Amino acid sequence: MKLFTKSEDSVTKCKKCGLELHDAERLKRHEKIAHARRIDVKCRNCGTEFRDPDDLRKHKKKCR
């Protein structure tokens, strides 16, 4: 499943890969997820690592 799709009517473009997104917030999230080399957060229960705090938050609902 893709988080974003390429579209001709997009307004922002990733400088690293050229992906076009609909707004600056999505571009910022894309750059962090797709191009970041470090892992920012870790689940305290199971040790799974995530680049995005939102992904950890979603994971925590299932990991108990």
* Assigned domain for 20 exists: no
pTM value surpassing 0.75: no
Range of the domain at 64: 37-64
Residue 58 pLDDT grade (very low, low, confident, very high; cuts 50, 70, 90): very high
What pLDDT is attached to residue 47? 94
What pLDDT is attached to residue 3? 56
What pLDDT is attached to residue 43? 94
* Assigned domain for 45 exists: yes
* Assigned domain for 42 exists: yes
Asked if 21 and 38 touch (Cβ cutoff 8 Å), the reply is: no
Assigned token pair, 56: 């950890």
* Assigned domain for 4 exists: no
CA 15-16-22 angle, to 5 degrees, is: 55
Number of folded domains in the chain?
1
* Assigned domain for 41 exists: yes
Asked if 16 and 31 touch (Cβ cutoff 8 Å), the reply is: yes
* Assigned domain for 51 exists: yes
Span 14-54, pLDDT tens digits: 998 999 988 888 998 888 888 877 777 899 999 999 878 88
CA distance 29 to 24: 9
Assigned token pair, 52: 């995005």
What pLDDT is attached to residue 10? 47
